[in-house]
Structure formats: structure tokens, C-alpha cells
Amino acid sequence: MSDQTSNWFKDYFLRLRPCHEESVKSLLRLVKSSCGGKYGFFSAHASNTFALSIFLINLFSKEIKLIYFLILYSLFVAYSRIYLGVHFPLDVLFGIGVGFFYGFSISVISKKLFFRFNNFRI
């Protein structure tokens, strides 16, 4: 869901990635010769990793080491999008917000369905 939402936003807003934006292209130090698709609002990588992390954190909230790992991993992925010059910082922040929304929403729905149909407790 998060990934498809990102595609819809990219097709609607048509915001160029930093590596395709002539005004900032000269300021970037690109690691790869290509930087992905033409449009980048919002970051699907940031959104997807945060959605999965928040989903798992809400399901396994007692596992402190897992929580730290998932948050740290998601932050590294989000930062990498800016470092590689494929997203502006606000693209990444918006992606994180969308990821939080989907991760939390789906985990709440999942818990309710498990409790209702399986008498399942996490």
C-alpha cells in the first residue's frame, strides 16, 4: 500500500529528483551514474521501511533490541536516499510520515482481526 501510494504521489506531483533538477545537480556528488525514475516525491524506500518497522514494533513491542534495530535500520535507509541524491529531505520526511501511518494502521487492524477471529494474543 505504501509503495503504491508513493507511485500515485509521484505521478500527481511530478517533482523532479535532485539528480534531475538542474538548479541543484551541480551541488550533488552522485555515487551512481543513474538515480532512478524522473520523479521523487515521496520516498518509497523511506515509506516502506518505516511502515514495516512500525508494523513489527507494534506487534512485538516487548522486544527492545528488535525495536532499536528496526528504527536504526529505517533511519539508515531514509538517510541513504538523501546521501545518494535521489530525494530531497522533505521527500524522505514525508515518506517516513506515510510509513508511520500505514505501519500503525495495519498493525492496529491486524491485532483486532487476530483477537476477533483467532483469540490470538501478542
pTM: predicted TM-score of the whole model, two decimal places: 0.83
Q: Is the pLDDT of residue 122 over 70?
A: no
Q: Using CA atoms, how far apart are residues 60 and 118, in angstroms rounded to an integer?
A: 18
Give me the pLDDT at residue 42, please.
87
Summarised one tens digit per residue, pLDDT across range 10-63 is 889 988 888 777 777 777 777 766 777 888 888 999 999 999 999 999 988 888
Contact of 19 with 31, CB cutoff 8 Å: no
Q: Using CA atoms, how far apart are residues 120 and 94, in angstroms rounded to an integer?
A: 34
Give me the pLDDT at residue 57, please.
94
**Residue 39: beta bridge partners?**
16
